[in-house]
Amino acid sequence: MSKKYIATPSRTKEILNKYKFSFKKSLGQNFLVDVNVLENIIKHAGIDEEAGAIEIGPGMGALTEQLAIHSDKVVAFEIDQRLLPILKDTLHDYSNVEIIHQDILEADVEAVIRTHFKPNQPIHVVANLPYYITTPILMKLVRDRLPVTSLTVMIQKEVAERMAAKPNSKSYGSLTIAVQYYTEAKVVMTVPKSVFMPQPNVDSSILQLVIRDKPPVEVVDEDFFFELVQASFAQRRKTLRNNLSNFFKEQYTKDEITAILESTGIDGSRRGESLDMEEFALLANTFYKSK
């Protein structure tokens, strides 16, 4: 049975030859050629016959096919026009697949969900994301507060580790806080580069983001909170006091910054990577109120 699946080296080569398709480096095209990996992704994503699935960058339809088999409905966004006839061919047996030719960063995903899925249907984003644009895509999807349950995505291993990191680790940074403010993040599996065609230069991981009902901390101003977090990591080796002095140099003297830090009970000689989200929220709220 698995011989017929798109996600095999022989079937992928056959399709490539048939359409004389050449990979575009600029679009980060690496196609999966291992059905077992795809089935693992589906399992981790919690896809069942009740669920709807949104895919980004279906390529030749390897993951799309598995989503179509296991879910109620699949909507896939593909930016590369050359792939549209290929997808029409490879997925013609699956009536529950809708391909939308659009850049996900420009799409009104909420309107797409209203149009293509049933009311209150559990919806999961499942995708093999292009490495060069992983972070903007994920941040758009979580910040737009879409009615989706989870995002299970294959991304560069190093980026997955940063998004799922804990304080006091070298992967922990402003991206960690941004992602974990909206979601619960964990790396569920590592994927070797050998299961892709062409092979990328790096290993991949499957990252799962479960959307939170509400953020784990209360902040007075979200934009300011994220700005302060970024400022705290501006130069990783510098102390919190130094990074914040630099960030707030137009507004506060060093002594004023020291006084605000002291009022929170957070030691200014610590580095950003040692603070958890609660401490960042306390800092942001205190600085915001002292403006």
| Whether residue 248 sits in one domain with residue 119 | no
Paired residues of 100 in beta bridges: 77
Mean pLDDT confidence for 29-43: 91
Q: What percent of the chain has pLDDT over 90?
A: 87
Is 139 inside a domain boundary? yes
pLDDT at position 53: 98
Please state, rounded to an integer, the average pLDDT across all residues of the chain: 94
40 is in an annotated binding site: no
Indicate the pLDDT class of residue 138, thresholds 50, 70 and 90: very high
pLDDT at position 27: 63
Angle, in degrees to the nearest 10, between helices 174-182 and 222-232: 150
Read off φ and ψ for residue 196, nearest 5 degrees: -115, 155
Is 216 inside a domain boundary? no
Q: How far is CA 62 from the centre of its chain?
A: 20
Is 217 inside a domain boundary? no
| Whether residue 232 sits in one domain with residue 205 | no
| Whether residue 55 sits in one domain with residue 160 | yes
Paired residues of 53 in beta bridges: 74, 124
Q: Which helix H or strand E contains 53, and what residues bound it?
A: strand 52-56
For the sheet with 73-77, list strands across it. Answer: 97-100, 73-77, 52-56, 123-128, 150-156, 204-211, 183-191
pLDDT at position 97: 98
| Whether residue 60 sits in one domain with residue 41 | yes
Find the largest Cα–Cα distance for the chain: 71
Q: How far is CA 111 from the centre of its chain?
A: 20
265 is in an annotated binding site: no
Q: Residues 219, 285: contact at Cβ < 8 Å?
A: yes
The sign one gets for the Cα dihedral 230, 105, 199, 41 is positive
Tell me the CATH number at 160. Answer: 3.40.50.150
Is 140 inside a domain boundary? yes
The residue from 211, 238, 259 where one domain ends is 211
- Write the pLDDT tens digit of every residue in 212-256: 999 999 999 999 999 999 999 999 999 999 999 999 999 999 899
| Whether residue 123 sits in one domain with residue 80 | yes
Is residue 3 over pLDDT 50?
Answer: no
| Whether residue 194 sits in one domain with residue 246 | no
30 is in an annotated binding site: yes
227 is in an annotated binding site: no
Mean pLDDT confidence for 273-289: 97
Is 115 inside a domain boundary? yes
| Whether residue 198 sits in one domain with residue 232 | no
Indicate the pLDDT class of residue 22, thresholds 50, 70 and 90: confident
Is residue 29 over pLDDT 90?
Answer: no
- Strands (E) across 104-211 are located at 123-128, 150-156, 183-191, 196-197, 204-211
Which residues are within 8 A (CB) of 196 and not within 5 positions of it... i.e. 6 or more apart?
A: 30, 31, 32, 33, 204
Q: Domain range for residue 206?
A: 2-211
Is 244 inside a domain boundary? yes
Tell me the CATH number at 250. Answer: 1.10.8.100
57 is in an annotated binding site: yes
- Write the pLDDT tens digit of every residue in 154-210: 999 999 999 999 999 999 999 999 999 999 999 999 999 999 888 888 889 999 999
pLDDT at position 1: 41
| Whether residue 102 sits in one domain with residue 76 | yes
| Whether residue 197 sits in one domain with residue 285 | no
| Whether residue 48 sits in one domain with residue 86 | yes
Query: How many domains does the chain fold into?
Result: 2
201 is in an annotated binding site: no
| Whether residue 191 sits in one domain with residue 53 | yes
